[in-house]
Structure 1
């Protein structure tokens, strides 16, 4: 396939939660050496880039999203030499490496915060968001933490409150301060100079807060089961207009390096999400599109979401799709085992860059976590609401040996009960497994420009189906996905003939198609149109 687009447009991204991918030193926690051990698997699967969740020094209050040093590696994961070796070996296999970057907040153990809280006249006194108490001595305003409770923590040393969008151990940086911006860009430059291919920017829509610190309004759709943190709309502490100026500085830095990119974590409605592409070349390359994670698994809703997203994209915006990540329930648990194959075909045939979450290619499900086993601070702060993220972070299931081949020690989170049957080794041996379906879909994207970079056009196929064409030059592929348990007959209309390139059953390749097509329950197919 001729390379007509950037690698991050044509490629497939694979997210690794490093604590749970592979333990290389036998301490029960995954690490960089473990990831190196599994690079051949990722190359066999066919992914083009790996995104690694945070591996920086950290007290681990939020498992690495509380950074105490942006330019080193936590000893739990290895050393800078280990990172350099991993990067070199990934590049040798033709894979890129995307590093998670956490710019909104640091750990309260970061030296910057120690200086900032020391006194009001310290050179870094305004590197974080400090405010005097309200007249009654309470918090400066009503902003809430995403992990429950007030977003403000009183600090006796300064006699002021500091703002934390997440844990109190994660104070937010003051991105309105040019010195903070310069320091964070220097940290990004450190990793770019080492050769990383891009960044996934954590909670990028949080970076700038309202300069007047206005109270957030009530959420009219709030219900108790949603968690206290959703009682208010985040109108003034997220998605402020000035955030785009900050992103433009990040983009300018990346543009000084060849073939680099950044993905923005952004949980916003589509009409707001697409503004993060910026105007021209000033935004993030890929504002993460999480629609398929948060919406009901319904064909009418999915069709509407695809069409809305495609219509909202700016001319320079490249689409992307995500089915799972470290913060949400696994796709197999959300849609059920019977539809995991359909979900795989949807993700890997829509226009744009797909991101896979480790283990989804096996159909890994949420693992029940007892109260005694809970690690996630979100669950500890708001127990009983089902918001905990531990169930989707269980160790990767490699084989049927003790601890699924993940570690020789007891893993930091419990293994899934089904790991002896649901694992890489078993599915690699079964040509009809979900793993092989993912592999075939990924390799089809390499073989067909229509799938990798082609146009998207909706195809009307019935109430229980999602259908669309992917087209590029003389290539024309039709994707049909049956969301019903019952068989469906599809009238192909003016698409008179062709052949099935791939079915989710992995049993119909090469089957001729003419005028009508019968789909089994929960079956998806890719049809090569050879005449019309």
Structure 2
């Protein structure tokens, strides 16, 4: 019986409350951006056979699940998040046979495949939308959201697209506007129509029956929108739809479901993931990301890094889901900058800060997510011209911000720090041309530092970032205190040091990290004066904390104090 088969429920008692064990509690998820992972045929675009060729690499790292960004048929206006056929594969990525082979080979290595479920919107080339725009009485018209022009003949209301500009586009054939909360080529589906929901559930079951391990759900907090009230996120029927989805699709299956929810708060998180809610396994929340954005210019004018604020957000979520629900743990994804560039130091302490960030994240309570290349310390790419970018959001926002008076130089600095293409440059496999990603011309430039930062060299270096990640993944499988231990933060107002502990049945884990490039002397509170086994460190092992300690630049370590044997 593998981990994805149906298993009897078991429970663990933690600090007086009960948690049902799930296979994904001890797993680590690895996100793959297929276009940028491995190109097997030299066309410059990553593909499914390329992913299959690296399954042994992923097995060696220790991951239990791979999440694929969309691989469905698509005109690629938004790199696959605009789907024209939910039950076919984009030709540049391969075929359904390639996908079935990937699932089977991954499962043989005890790795599940998580698909990206994009059901807030489709492509404007989806057959449903092609039919819908033919006439106002077409049977598929109500699959999407249409409104007549406003009283002044303009837009129906003030809703804006997340990619810039109005969320409405006029269809000249019928004289009505359709809603698109992202690109104009991504019309929003009408979830109030039960026929839409039935088609989506049918499609989801089709994929589940092919043996996938679950779904990551793109902007799932948008599906309950109430357009006429200008409610986009957290609409009144959102959780009704998710509970219906649970009943009609994955509820009886032993799979992982993760919702992308930019609007979630600690107060609403349990509505999605509480054990009695019958909705999702967990959600992605982004408060630790958005609290670093400027109030006016958003991520294009980032705020200075503030560790106290970051600790406050991460700890708040740990506490909120301590007795129910489950946290997702991540620094980056396909929409976010590279973790070591954002939170670490790539100029003087690249390896040390990358390991530090991994240690802090992976020893918290929740399921860790690694974004491809994070495990080797890949960095942001310093593009010098807007023409080097490929991301539709970045290009649209550049035009709008410059038109509004934001200088092109300032925008480029913001894009270099926070733009989505930072995460989308090709995976750096070796020192070969284009980082070993392709024998052709890559669809987007490879980061120039690939001769030094690549998987081939990392795997042969005992002290590499890759091997540090491998150790952290293995520790989660070995020590229940990492999986289920109670979280407690310490020294919350310290501007440079992150300290927390995890406790379970007498075992205690203390994690300490320096987020600066300078040594920090720290007085240790009585409650943290411990000795035991150093599970992991990015310098020499630390086995005890006495009255004081000096942490070196970006030093991080974890000490485990085991309960006395009975």
TM-score, L = length of structure 1: 0.91
For residue 450 of structure 2, what is the aligned residue in structure 1? 419
- Cα distance, 1:243 vs structure 2: 0.8
User: Distance in 2 between the 1:428 and 1:314 partners?
Assistant: 35
Alignment partner, residue 108 of structure 1 = 124
Which residue pairs with 2:334 in the alignment?
326
RMSD: 2.2
**Deviation (angstroms), 1:504:** 3.7
The 1:531/1:50 distance shift into structure 2, 3 A limit, reads: closer
Match for residue 273 of structure 2 among 277, 299, 305: 277
Structure 1 equivalent of residue 367 of structure 2:
353
**Is the Cα contact below 8 Å between 1:290 and 1:322 reproduced in 2?**
no
Q: Does 1:153 align with 2:169?
A: yes
Q: Does 1:507 align with 2:502?
A: no
Cα-to-partner distance string for 1:133-182 (whole Å, 9 max, x where unaligned): 11221110010111111100000111100000011111000000000000
Contact kept? 1:498, 1:531, Cα under 8 Å: no
Residues 423-434 of structure 1 mapped to structure 2, 5 A cutoff: 423-434=454-465
- Give 1:193 shift: 0.7
Question: By how many angstroms is 1:341 displaced?
Answer: 2.1
**Cα distance in structure 2, aligned partners of 1:366 and 1:307:** 27
Q: Does 1:31 align with 2:39?
A: no
Paired residues of 1:31 and 1:77 also in contact (CA < 8 A): yes
In 2 relative to 1, CA 41–295 (structure 1 residues): closer, same or farther, beyond 3 Å? Answer: farther
User: Which structure 1 segments of 5+ residues have no match?
Assistant: 217-235
- Give the 3 Å change call, closer, same or farther, for CA 461–119 of structure 1 in structure 2: closer
Q: Partner of 2:510 in structure 1? A: 478
Equivalent position SS for 1:71: strand
* Residue 400 to residue 243, structure 1, CA distance change in 2 (3 Å): same
Deviates more, 1:385-394 or 1:175-184: 385-394
Alignment of 1:248 onto 2:243: yes
| Residue 382 (1) aligns with residue 397 (2) | yes
- 1:288 is matched with which residue: 274, 277, 284? 284
Partner-residue secondary structure (3-state), 1:194: coil
The 5-angstrom pairing of residues 155-304 of structure 1 reads 155-210=171-226, 213-214=228-229, 216=230, 236-268=231-263, 269-277=265-273, 280-296=276-292, 297-304=305-312
Q: For residue 494 of structure 1, report the CA deviation from its aligned partner.
A: 4.3
| Counterparts of 2:269 and 2:156, CA distance in 1 | 29
Q: Check whether the contact 1:437–1:506 (CA below 8 A) recurs between aligned residues.
A: no
Contact 1:351 1:456 survives alignment (8 Å): yes
Matches within 5 A, 1:45-56: 45-56=61-72
Q: Is the 8 A contact 1:394 1:413 kept in 2?
A: yes
Output aligned runs, 1:398-413, within 5 Å.
398-413=429-444
* Conserved 8 A contact 2:544-2:559: no
- 8 Å Cα contact 1:292-1:322 kept in structure 2: no
Deviates more, 1:274-283 or 1:192-201: 274-283
- Contact 1:52 / 1:99 at 8 angstroms: preserved in 2? yes
Give the distance between the partners of 1:487 and 1:331, measured in 2 at CA. Answer: 22
Q: Which residue of 2 aligns with 1:459?
A: 490
Q: Which residue of 1 aligns with 2:301?
A: none
- Per-residue deviation at 1:514? 4.8
Corresponding residue for 2:355?
341
1:495–1:529 CA contact under 8 A, matched in 2: no
Q: Once the 2 structures are TM-superposed, how far is the Cα of residue 260 of structure 1 from its aligned partner?
A: 1.1
Identify which of 309, 313, 316 aligns with 1:305. 313
> Per the alignment, do residues 504 and 315 of structure 1 end up closer, same or farther by CA in structure 2, a change over 3 Å counting?
closer
Per the alignment, in what secondary structure is the counterpart of residue 99 of structure 1? Answer: strand
Between the two proteins, the alignment pairs up a number of residues equal to 510
1:351-393 Cα shifts (integer Å, max 9, x gaps): 1111111111111111134333321111221214345422220
- Rate the CA distance shift 1:85–1:117 in 2: closer, same or farther, 3 A: same
Cα–Cα, structure 1 residues 295 and 209, in superposed 2: closer, same or farther, change >3 Å?
closer
- Output the CA distance in 2 between the equivalents of 1:333 and 1:307: 22
Residue 315 of structure 1, CA deviation:
4.1
Q: Identify which of 368, 373, 381 aligns with 1:367.
A: 381
Check the 8 A contact 1:449/1:475 in 2, yes or no: no
In the alignment, is the contact (CA less than 8 A) between 2:271 and 2:277 conserved in 1? Answer: no
SS in 2 for 1:316: coil
TM-score (norm 2): 0.85
